[in-house]
């Protein structure tokens, strides 16, 4: 049946085939399925077949040290069942720059040269359930085709791989499904005796979701790929009747795990501490082993109501601590917030040159409104002076629910020197609270300077304190026009989308004006309407303008004071960006931190448990082991 399916999906295969497969313990693809596929690829016309994998961060966290060791543990011998030799290769051993457009999150990144250069690319996943995404299949396996893109959402990465470096054939080993709350990490086998064969990895994963009785969009990888690439096309060979007897993670558990996993270090420990110790793994961290003794039994028991409640309580407690830590970091410790990498998120070529060139006319009514009302002194908040080195002016008013504003500062810098060091085209990325984004040139002038461009920007929630109530980062896609003259340069932008729904409007302009001996005036004008977090959805500040006015004034003044400071720092060559580079995965596991969080969760469970049984398997002690001379109580603990 496998041979007939392969012939129906991909009848003509030639050259070198690279089979990217899942070797991660404890749920690698069956060696029998891998080697059967190797034979079939040879028989279909391939000259050479390589079995490929990469050692992921999670593999290392679980004690594995090489692809070769994983292949050996998975039972791969280097010779197929019908005697054909094949080589197991590490895709991470050789990389090359990804040949992708500037709009891709992979732009400027490296991809496995073995995967990029293959004549036939094949991805071979396994049917497993997942506490993080409901299920894993081909897309999770496909991520091994390149080194991790630090700071990027894996869903963006895999979507761009599907678009620019896709496999020609996708297979999922569902001969035995590992199911349960987290079958990916805690092996729990159920014979399902199926293979999924498709010419599209997204189609293969969608089919797996159907067979597992899940909504395919429950996987963040699949949901993003569907949203960007659309419905997958092509045949699927096989019976689509859902498997019987499969258990999976409850949506509440998935939601809690994802909240906790927002903090990368916590997600790594949670993933490493479910199941195991793996076959073939090296010695584990003693603290990790202790966490595993806590977490694994809860995951394995999550099918039952009592086990579900215990695991949900633990994950929710950890997630709450992560939420609070992140929420308070935004206004109080911005150096702890991770910078991000994103794709552009739209096709800049879908907008004609006239749409870019019409931006001055689009924004003119707002600029005229600000100039006219300022001259009549009708704006509600005006402070500072409009000229003079270092002085600032702030003017704003409400229009259609949005804030229309103007603010400026005079910087003691020669105009020529200022515009030579501070590129007006990069002006948005120089503003306060910028987390990351992507800027793509659409057209340039005769001197090679950008004239039309497309951009996506991510900022901290505005005002920053909204992060404490779950406010999302501001994520806005824009088309932009750059105007340059002898005494003035201007960047104009218009919002065309907000992928996370954080903004309805974020239109504006940034202008550098030559004031001669006085220096350079920097002016920002805009129209902004951001979405409040759900916790604020019932609050209508328009009903209390005496409260809203000072809040708006304060928020804008803080943001643009920091923005003007950034521009001065850029001119002077000083660092100014907030945040830190996202963790690379080379950091050691933060087992002690999570161990302390589990202690907090233990306290919660102790208060709600009737038998007061400890998560660590010990009865809760009511009396201290010892009270010293100073009155301090001492309790023994596990070692």
**Which of 433, 427, 466, 421 has the alpha carbon at shortest distance from 572?**
421
Question: Which pLDDT tens digit goes with each residue over 187-211?
Answer: 999 999 999 999 999 999 999 999 9
Q: What H or E segment, with its residue span, contains residue 67?
A: helix 67-74
Cis preceding linkage at 240, omega within 30: no
Q: Over 70: is that where the pLDDT of 387 sits?
A: no
Q: How remote is the C-alpha of 89 from its chain's centroid?
A: 28
Q: Over 80: is that where the pLDDT of 262 sits?
A: yes
Give the SS3 label for residue 396: strand
Q: What is the mean pLDDT of the chain?
A: 88
* Residue 2: other Cβ atoms inside 10 A: 15
CATH superfamily of 348-572: START domain (3.30.530.20)
Question: Which pLDDT tens digit goes with each residue over 486-516?
Answer: 999 999 999 999 999 999 999 999 999 999 9
When pLDDT is averaged across residues 523-536 and rounded to a whole number, the result is 90
Phi, psi of 553 (to 5 degrees): -55, -45
Which residues is 172 bridged to in the sheet?
125, 196
Phi, psi of 460 (to 5 degrees): -60, 155
Give the SS3 label for residue 307: helix
CA distance 385 to 488: 20
At residue 473's C-alpha, the angle toward residues 469 and 475, to 5°, is: 145
Q: Where are the beta strands (DSSP E) in 179-223?
A: 189-198
Fill in the DSSP letter of residue 383: B
- pLDDT (0 to 100) of residue 326: 83
630 exposed, middle or buried (CB, 10 Å; 0-12, 13-18, 19+)? Answer: exposed
Phi, psi of 441 (to 5 degrees): -70, 135
Q: Over 80: is that where the pLDDT of 484 sits?
A: yes
Structure tokens at 388: 């003079």
pLDDT band at 411 (very low <50, low <70, confident <90, very high): very high
Work out the percent of the chain whose per-residue pLDDT is above 90.
67
Cβ–Cβ < 8 Å for 278, 63: yes
Query: Between 634 and 106, whose confidence is greater?
Result: 106
CA distance 543 to 632: 55
When pLDDT is averaged across residues 308-314 and rounded to a whole number, the result is 91
**Which of 241, 209, 236 has the alpha carbon at shortest distance from 222?**
209
Query: Between 307 and 55, whose confidence is greater?
Result: 55
Cis preceding linkage at 315, omega within 30: no
Question: Which pLDDT tens digit goes with each residue over 156-173?
Answer: 999 999 999 999 999 999
Measure Cα distances from 458 to 126, 150, 175, 350 in Å: 35, 16, 43, 22
Question: Which pLDDT tens digit goes with each residue over 125-159?
Answer: 999 999 999 999 999 999 999 999 989 999 999 99
Q: Over 60: is that where the pLDDT of 602 sits?
A: no
CA distance 563 to 519: 18
Query: Between 84 and 631, whose confidence is greater?
Result: 84
Domain boundaries of the chain, sorted by first residue:
348-572
Cβ–Cβ < 8 Å for 453, 425: yes
Fill in the DSSP letter of residue 522: E
CA distance 104 to 156: 9
- pLDDT (0 to 100) of residue 523: 95
- pLDDT (0 to 100) of residue 115: 96
- pLDDT (0 to 100) of residue 471: 87
Structure tokens at 209: 């979701």
Q: What H or E segment, with its residue span, contains residue 53?
A: strand 46-53
- pLDDT (0 to 100) of residue 21: 98
pLDDT band at 381 (very low <50, low <70, confident <90, very high): very low
**Which of 275, 203, 280, 190 has the alpha carbon at shortest distance from 234?**
203
Q: Over 70: is that where the pLDDT of 365 sits?
A: yes
Long-range contacts of 492-496, Cβ-Cβ distance < 8 Å, separation of 24 or more: 492/359, 492/360, 492/362, 492/363, 493/359, 493/428, 493/455, 494/359, 494/362, 494/363, 496/346, 496/351
Distant-in-sequence, close-in-space partners of 548: CB < 8 Å, separation ≥ 6: 541, 542
HSE toward the beta carbon, residue 357, CA cutoff 13 A = 4
CA distance 61 to 265: 11
Give the SS3 label for residue 60: helix
Query: Between 35 and 627, whose confidence is greater?
Result: 35
In DSSP notation, 422-490 reads: S-GGGGGGGSTTEEEEEEEEEEE-TTS-EEEEEEEEEE--SSGGGGGGTPPPEEEEEEEEEEE-SSEEE
Question: Which pLDDT tens digit goes with each residue over 10-63?
Answer: 777 899 999 999 999 999 999 999 999 999 999 999 999 999 999 999 999 999
């Amino acid at each position: 049946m496998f041979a007939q399916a392969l012939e129906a999906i991909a009848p003509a295969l030639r050259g070198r085939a690279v089979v990217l497969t899942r070797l991660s313990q404890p749920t690698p693809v069956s060696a029998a399925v891998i080697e059967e596929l190797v034979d079939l690829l040879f028989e279909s016309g391939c000259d050479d077949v390589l079995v490929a994998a990469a050692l992921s961060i999670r593999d290392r966290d679980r004690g594995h040290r090489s692809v070769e060791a994983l292949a050996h543990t998975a039972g791969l011998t280097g010779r197929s069942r019908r005697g054909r030799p094949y080589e197991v290769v590490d895709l991470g051993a050789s990389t090359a720059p990804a040949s992708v457009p500037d709009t891709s999150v992979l732009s400027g990144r490296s991809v496995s040269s073995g995967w990029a250069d293959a004549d036939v690319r094949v991805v071979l996943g396994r049917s497993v359930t997942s506490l993080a995404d409901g299920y894993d299949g081909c897309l999770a396996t496909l991520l091994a085709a390149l080194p991790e893109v630090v700071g990027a959402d894996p869903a963006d990465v895999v979507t761009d791989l599907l678009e620019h470096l896709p496999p020609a054939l996708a297979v999922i080993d569902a001969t035995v499904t590992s199911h349960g709350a987290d079958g990916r990490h805690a092996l729990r086998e159920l014979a399902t005796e199926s293979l999924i064969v498709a010419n599209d990895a997204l189609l293969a994963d969608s089919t797996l979701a159907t067979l597992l009785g899940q909504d395919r969009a429950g996987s963040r990888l699949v949901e993003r790929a569907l949203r960007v690439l659309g419905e997958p096309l092509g045949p699927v060979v096989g019976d689509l009747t859902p498997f019987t007897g499969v258990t999976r993670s409850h949506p509440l558990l998935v939601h809690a795990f994802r909240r906790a996993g927002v903090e990368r270090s916590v997600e790594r420990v949670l993933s490493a501490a479910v199941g195991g110790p793996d076959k073939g793994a090296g010695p584990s961290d003693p603290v990790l082993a202790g966490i595993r003794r806590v977490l694994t039994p809860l995951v394995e028991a999550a099918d039952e109501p009592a086990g579900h409640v215990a695991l949900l309580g633990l994950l929710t407690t950890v997630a709450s601590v992560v939420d609070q830590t992140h929420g308070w970091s935004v206004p109080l410790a911005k150096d702890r917030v991770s910078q991000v990498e994103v794709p552009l998120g739209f096709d800049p070529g879908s907008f004609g040159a006239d749409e870019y060139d019409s931006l001055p006319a689009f924004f003119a009514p707002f600029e005229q409104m600000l100039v006219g009302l300022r001259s009549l002194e009708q704006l509600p908040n005006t402070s500072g002076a409009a000229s003079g080195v270092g002085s600032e002016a702030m003017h704003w008013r409400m229009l259609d629910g949005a804030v229309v504003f103007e603010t400026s500062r005079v910087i003691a810098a020669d105009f020529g020197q200022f515009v030579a060091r501070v590129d007006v085209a990069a002006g948005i990325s120089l503003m306060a609270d910028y987390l990351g984004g992507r800027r793509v040139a659409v057209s340039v002038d005769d001197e090679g300077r950008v004239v039309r461009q497309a951009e996506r920007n991510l900022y901290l929630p505005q005002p920053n304190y909204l992060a404490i109530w779950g406010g999302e980062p501001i994520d806005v896609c824009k088309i932009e026009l750059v105007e340059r003259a002898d005494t003035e340069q201007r960047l104009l932008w218009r919002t065309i989308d907000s992928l996370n729904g954080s903004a309805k409007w974020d239109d504006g302009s940034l202008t550098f004006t030559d004031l001669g001996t006085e220096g350079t005036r920097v002016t920002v004008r805009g129209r902004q309407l951001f979405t409040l977090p759900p916790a604020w959805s019932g609050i209508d500040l328009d009903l209390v303008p005496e409260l809203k006015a000072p809040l708006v004034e304060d928020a804008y003044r803080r943001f643009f004071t920091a923005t003007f400071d950034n521009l001065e720092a850029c001119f002077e060559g000083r660092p100014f960006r907030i945040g830190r580079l996202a963790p690379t995965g080379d950091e050691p596991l933060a087992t002690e931190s999570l161990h302390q969080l589990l202690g907090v969760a233990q306290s919660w469970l102790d208060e709600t448990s009737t038998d007061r049984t400890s998560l660590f398997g010990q009865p809760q002690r009511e009396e201290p082991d010892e009270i010293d001379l100073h009155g301090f109580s001492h309790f023994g603990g596990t070692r």
